[in-house]
Structure 1
């Protein structure tokens, strides 16, 4: 198998991108250094915008099945886990607001990755574990990736290599791309443990349990027996020695829980540092960065993995356009510019949350506005037809397997002209310029005759939208304005 794209890293970002590319019939090889998927829960919060991406992949329901109940998506604050006095935040109101067909969930990374791996492989991607990349070279018209597997050296050539290989990215290093920002804002010992806490949290079940007195907090895996305890490591502490002392680790957990006799089984530990770093560019020649390889976001808000999933979504359709001969490689500079601005804005928001007291913002990335400065703000989401915004979600019917059919479900994952009602002129223009055509409803009269709703996203008669493969609006087009379509297509395709 000779891949068209090599992805380095089989974490959530790499596997999402592998699935998105495979759905577009692009040959993908994923190389992962570790012998298997992550055994540590790591990232957990999956926002509404990421769930929309998973919905397009066809894995939304599978992800929900391994996630915590919606009622648990809230924060707990107290001195200890067992404290009689505590404060609980309200769950996010995403479901009630109706801004998305796919509200966010809390799903631990070790449960998410198997879902994404199964989909990527079913879609046609090849995923190789114990394949440690040792060299990446841009040869001008292709890339060469060297790696070791089972003690033997191998290499593969492809059109592009995508670095989804985390904070210490070898792809970023090979590309000579630097990082700017703040490092070592804090250091944490993440303790993966089993403990019978079902009854303790029955009246206070949450996703994150923030504790007082510098004790850190608990992160729920199943809110029953599986947990993570995040311990803030004091300056000067020998954390390696602490990791090797099961008795001391158990005592830390018991103090945090407020239960001196708690039965604790330590399963794994991991040290991580809170940083706020941004790659100087996300693209260098045929080497492209996504996820933590491109940006490292403080976890205060839970947006880091979600920005990475957005990277995959923004990159997949562009790769398909370039590899299909419909766009120039200049679209990758657009990817770098747009996604770097998003990452910077989310890092700034997350840094502002470090002092504490922040809430769960499931809709933050729904309002991403490419071309605005900043492209992401903490303002409440409001639907818009402005260029750069995501197409608004409106329920337009019912569909087997997913229930309510969203306007977003009608998008084909590639450039499309979208109208409210069928429009022969825009349909002809779509055929002429090699894009898809999507009328959102068959006819207003038909809707009324069936006694159903006549939903609208707000376009006037004859108006159209040029919508990108990631669901963001490239342009709003007035009736019959084919010249504007041609101009916007040229820009969107980097011509």
Structure 2
């Protein structure tokens, strides 16, 4: 035991007068059941000789994950319920988790920050704490925390858990953290203490010394059978780009998530998806991985299209300076590596070698049966489960979802390869070659996407006739039915000879694949507490990266909504908007991807608009029940970004004390939704007062779960701002770009959702209308 890191939990409670024996008896009845929980090593009930009404429940656990699973389990609730009427109010209870550390290995720590408040300050302190807790929840290494109050009601303890003492100290010593802790600053300078608890050594047998009296319960030994059930907030099935994106979104919002993956090893070679859309790059900026992606990928500067051997289109994408990011070429295995490393930094490890074998839903949660590589069956349980398990989705099969798809449901046989190409084509261009007969028959398609490296490309094409004959025919389920014997370099060269410019030669075949796919979209994205996302919900041709990017956006949409509900900030019916928003988007993208793969898709007069459509920059939720607006009669309803659309970035914002211009995306970089209030010289005193009232109202309705800021026109003097907005972050529209891009000529409010889409706008500002909308989302 002394060589192994274990966790000790200590719960201190005080029994009601006359209930001491009943309290001990209730714990003795519950303890045998708790002893069967995976990871529980031992338990003791300790009683204070000096105060016989005071008890401590001391338990040793194999690891922190076991503690967390028990804390969310029905057994924990059973124990709490059994003791509820026998103990004093919860404010007289304390809870601590102390973990042993092995030398040279970083382990989670518990940090106790305590401070005193003056009489009458309790409510102000607790409100400030909630604000700070929300901000700190996204700090690297921060896991969870709770606020405890001593019996006299004037001294608080913030018990925070961090992945390691080093990460905690890095946050403490970073001057930037003062911004996060600012609301508590006045209480953290006087009568303040901080302690970090680590158990370094543990004797084989702990001796109980006076004045504590031990009430012992023997562990119950049972024959080995199936592993007992393990609990979490959300189970994500599948560790591809969709599942990893969702897990990151949940973990960085403090939600307990488990990711299980059937594959025992991560992909390390080329695979089907490669193009990273501009919208995905914006998402990755928010998730903190965009720089790693840029370093690992290569920019795609444009698109060149040949039809029947004739150059028909050549589009340059490099001058779209209003977009924060361009189109990136990045193999999917690199995407998975980058996202996996980010998830690890958030404290979540993918559990590989676990295959879903069954599902059962109840009114309060989901139970999943899984089997490991050794054939051992076990059960996992969570409040929600999301199937991100790809084209062969077991979750989709368990739910009995069916595919819809029109002509796109006809199966196609594709061939992929990772090769070097010797030809005279524009560098950095995505190239498409198609052949269309006079009668309109589509008889050939070749897509070549640049990869990092001189002359290196990913080629995707319909498999040649001889490979189609060797594969055969038959009924093909939706999805990647199966992969066959990989084609050789000569097979790829044959297609190049047929469709690419004369003289094109391929060499250095690194990887190749042939597979059969049927395209389509499932009839529903949700059934009870189970959701599907990514390829489990929609299937696309392997050209253009539409499938992977759409799956990432599925996860981006669902992640913040699950977190809102699980944290109690929104009603469960918020989750209905996932299917309402993502399924129409998924259907449109499936249709577009099929058209892109099998036709001369450059059919729009406005090639910029077509590019933005392909990059999912103009994909929107305008028809969602979750968006709305209040527009004055004198306002053009089509002016500015509309509700449901992506909130465009703006440059040139200035903030006092910051020596460089800021972006609107800097302001929006918060896990919460952001309320942007705007005023200019025409606003007037009444309008400014209304803006201040709207900010106060928004805080009240959302219980502080809203990032609120103000953007003012450059000509509006700072001293004219009313008292009720002085506590808001204020940004100046230094170059006037915000007013220009959002087409504003007076006071307004934009509510930008955590996923970067506009949820609501009020032009001019209307507090009652804003309140009505906020109550749709927040409790």
C-alpha contact (below 8 Å) 2:299/2:327 kept by paired residues: no
Residues 126 and 440 of structure 1: CA distance in aligned 2, closer, same or farther (over 3 Å):
farther
In the other structure, the counterpart of 1:468 is 753
Residues 212 and 450 of structure 1: CA distance in aligned 2, closer, same or farther (over 3 Å):
closer
1:171 and 2:422 equivalent? Answer: no
Distance 1:451 1:444 in 2: 6
In the other structure, the counterpart of 1:490 is 775
Residues 424 and 184 of structure 1: CA distance in aligned 2, closer, same or farther (over 3 Å):
closer
Distance 2:611 2:295 in 1: 19
1:394-473 equivalent positions in 2, closer than 5 A: 394-397=650-653, 405-411=662-668, 412-420=670-678, 423-434=691-702, 435-439=705-709, 441=711, 444-445=714-715, 452-455=734-737, 456=739, 457-473=742-758
Distance 2:777 2:308 in 1: 53
1:239 and 2:476 equivalent? Answer: no
1:41-440 equivalent positions in 2, closer than 5 A: 41-71=271-301, 73-77=302-306, 89-92=314-317, 95-96=320-321, 98=322, 100-151=323-374, 152-182=376-406, 184-195=409-420, 197=421, 199-201=422-424, 203=426, 205-210=428-433, 212=435, 214=443, 216-220=445-449, 221-222=451-452, 224-225=455-456, 227-234=458-465, 237-239=469-471, 243=485, 246=488, 249=491, 252=494, 255=497, 263-265=507-509, 267-275=511-519, 277-299=520-542, 302-359=545-602, 361-364=610-613, 365-372=616-623, 384-397=640-653, 405-411=662-668, 412-420=670-678, 423-434=691-702, 435-439=705-709
Distance 1:49 1:131 in 2: 32
Q: Which has the higher contact order (CA 8 A, sep 6+)?
A: 1
Instruction: Summarize deviations over 1:400-452 as a string: whole Å, max 9, x none.
Output: xxx97432332223233211259432321232122323325366248999994
Residues 452 and 87 of structure 1: CA distance in aligned 2, closer, same or farther (over 3 Å):
same
- Give the superposition deviation at 1:372: 3.6
In the other structure, the counterpart of 1:24 is 253
31-40 vs 47-56, which moves further? 31-40
Distance 1:451 1:227 in 2: 44
In the other structure, the counterpart of 1:376 is none
- Give the superposition deviation at 1:53: 0.8
100-109 vs 21-30, which moves further? 100-109
Q: What TM-score comes out, normalization by structure 2 length?
A: 0.55
Distance 2:761 2:447 in 1: 47
C-alpha contact (below 8 Å) 2:749/2:764 kept by paired residues: yes
Larger Rg: 2
186-195 vs 24-33, which moves further? 186-195
The root-mean-square deviation of aligned C-alpha atoms, in Å, is 3.5
SS of 2:410 mapped into structure 1? strand
SS of 1:188 mapped into structure 2? strand
C-alpha contact (below 8 Å) 1:94/1:363 kept by paired residues: no
More strand by share: 2
Distance 1:233 1:447 in 2: 69
- Give the superposition deviation at 1:186: 4.8
Distance 2:749 2:459 in 1: 49
- Give the superposition deviation at 1:184: 4.8
- Where structure 1 has 5 or more consecutive residues not aligned to the other structure, the ranges are 374-381
Instruction: Summarize deviations over 1:10-42 as a string: whole Å, max 9, x none.
Output: 111111111111111112211111123333331
SS of 1:43 mapped into structure 2? coil
C-alpha contact (below 8 Å) 1:142/1:160 kept by paired residues: yes
SS of 1:14 mapped into structure 2? helix
Residues 184 and 483 of structure 1: CA distance in aligned 2, closer, same or farther (over 3 Å):
closer
SS of 2:469 mapped into structure 1? coil
Which of 14, 21, 34 is the aligned partner of 2:243? 14
- Give the superposition deviation at 1:173: 1.7
345-354 vs 134-143, which moves further? 345-354
Which of 762, 773, 777 is the aligned partner of 1:477? 762
C-alpha contact (below 8 Å) 2:278/2:327 kept by paired residues: yes
Residues 202 and 250 of structure 1: CA distance in aligned 2, closer, same or farther (over 3 Å):
closer
- Give the superposition deviation at 1:396: 3.6
